Amino acid sequence: MAMNSRLSPLTINNGSLKLKLKRQSVCYHSCYEQIERDIWVSSIEKQIFSSLQANDTRKTSQDPNAVQAIKNMPGNNVCSDCGTPNPAWASLNLGSLICMECSGIHRHLGTHHSRVRSLELDEWPPDLTAVMLAIGNQRSNGIWEAKAARSQKPTPNSSREEKEAWIRAKYEQKEYLADRPHRNVPLNHLLIDAIARQEISQVILLLASSTPEDVNSAYSKSDRRTPLHIAAQQGNAIFLQLLLWYGADVRKLDLEGRSALWYAKKVGSKDCAFILQSNGCADVSTLPRLRRGSLRTEPVPLDKHKDRTSLNSLH
């Protein structure tokens, strides 16, 4: 059954969107043709976008230079997934810009695959801006589309169905993802090594290839630091934020009972400390009292333990 309805402008009450439909007539025929679905979804998305733009109360103060800097990143002049010019939406954890239509598809993937944010309508604090400036469409696609043929990628004129099939294959099935290096080495070891070496492309690839267990695994029985501890010890807020988006557990402690926040404070990284505290990470002072002398004052070097392969030997 199809209902012939006309979209009425959206209204915003107390920050919530309400879409009103004015029913004109009801006819009993199939409404599930693909072209009708595409038109319907596209109309709703355009109405939502227009209403958000018109609602000044939803706009927050932001640094226009930050947004422009994101737009100026290599490849960010077109949608990461279909090539539509001047994309106005971002996927935070992917570090890429996407068009309005592709952003709707990304939302359906869920935040564990893509965290969608508007360039123009949402606030861009320094921590989120830093992630976008560290990645960009060119770097992101170099990893997520490494195995894709150019002819496979949709164009701005492709149907929504074609774009959705591509996006799901790219991010859900990971069909075009670059191969991870050193398959004989545990992924969490490689991830810790890449973080220690500040190699962002390797970190992105390994996170894309990882499971939550990989992200939260300690290096060894004698070194219980996780990738999150190492990122905090490095004072790298970008890696720290990416790890959290990929499921890093802030409750994980090292062998001496220290959280990632302890390491962030030890190296004086206010950015890392803020991100960790915002995500509920406890400081060492809130933990049960440890035995006297058990808490070392200096971070343990990555290659100190003799019962494991040095990180320097992985490359």
Q: What is the pLDDT of residues 253-279, one digit of tens each?
A: 999 999 999 999 999 999 999 999 999
Task: Pick the last residue of a domain from 58, 77, 98.
Answer: 58
Res. 48 pLDDT band, cuts 50 70 90: low
Q: Are residues 212 and 243 in the same domain?
A: yes
- Residues facing residue 118 across a β-bridge: 89
Q: Which domain holds residue 117?
A: 64-172
Res. 150 pLDDT band, cuts 50 70 90: confident
Q: Are residues 302 and 199 in the same domain?
A: yes
* In a domain? residue 182: no
Q: What is the pLDDT of residues 198-243, one digit of tens each?
A: 999 999 999 999 999 999 999 999 999 999 999 999 999 999 999 9
Q: Are residues 283 and 194 in the same domain?
A: yes
Mean of the per-residue pLDDT values for the chain?
Answer: 81
Cα–Cα distance for residue pair 110/105, rounded to 1 Å:
9
Rg (CA), the chain: 23
Q: What is the pLDDT of residues 190-199, one digit of tens each?
A: 999 999 999 9
Q: What is the pLDDT of residues 158-191, one digit of tens each?
A: 999 999 999 999 999 999 999 998 989 999 999 9
* In a domain? residue 181: no
Task: Pick the last residue of a domain from 147, 172, 197.
Answer: 172
User: What length does the chain have?
Assistant: 315
Task: Pick the last residue of a domain from 58, 73, 93.
Answer: 58
Q: Are residues 235 and 217 in the same domain?
A: yes
Q: Are residues 71 and 147 in the same domain?
A: yes
Q: What is the CATH number of the domain that holds 103?
A: 1.10.220.150
* In a domain? residue 179: no
3-state helix, strand, coil in the chain (%, to 5): 45, 10, 45
The four Cα atoms 114, 274, 279, 138 give a dihedral, to 10 degrees, of 10
The number of domains in the chain is 3
Q: Are residues 192 and 162 in the same domain?
A: no
Look at residue 304 and tell me whether its pLDDT is greater than 90: no
